[in-house]
Amino acid sequence: MNTASELSARLADRASVDGDFRGRLLSDPKAAVYEELGVEVPDGVAIKVHENDLETVHVALPATDLAEEQLEAISAGRCCCCF
């Protein structure tokens, strides 16, 4: 199974070469994730996509309140929302 970092990189790679996909990833991330990865994101999970620019850089911090299943998935190197 791919790690969350690998899945995120795959989305970013496609968005960098496919402007239409980039637009969908920004406007409807769950649909774009399903389109590219074939993964259905559960209703209780939100995906927020941000664009860096010359004046703003976003940093994603790991969550501190995770369910046991999510912690196990992360420790196994899997995406915590797709187990």
Model pTM score: 0.70
Lowest-confidence pick of 22-26, 35-39, 43-47, 61-65: 61-65
Q: Which range of residues forms the domain containing residue 41? A: 4-50+59-75
Q: Is residue 82 part of a domain?
A: no
Residues of the chain with pLDDT > 90, as a percent, come to: 42
pLDDT digits (tens, 9 = 90+) for 28-44: 999 999 999 998 888 88
Q: Is residue 9 part of a domain?
A: yes
**Residue 5 pLDDT exceeds 60:** yes
**Residue 62 per-residue DSSP state:** P
Residue 83 domain-assigned (yes or no): no
Question: What total of structural domains would you count in the chain?
Answer: 1
At residue 80 the predicted structure's pLDDT band, cuts being 50, 70 and 90, is low
Residue 43 lies in a domain: yes
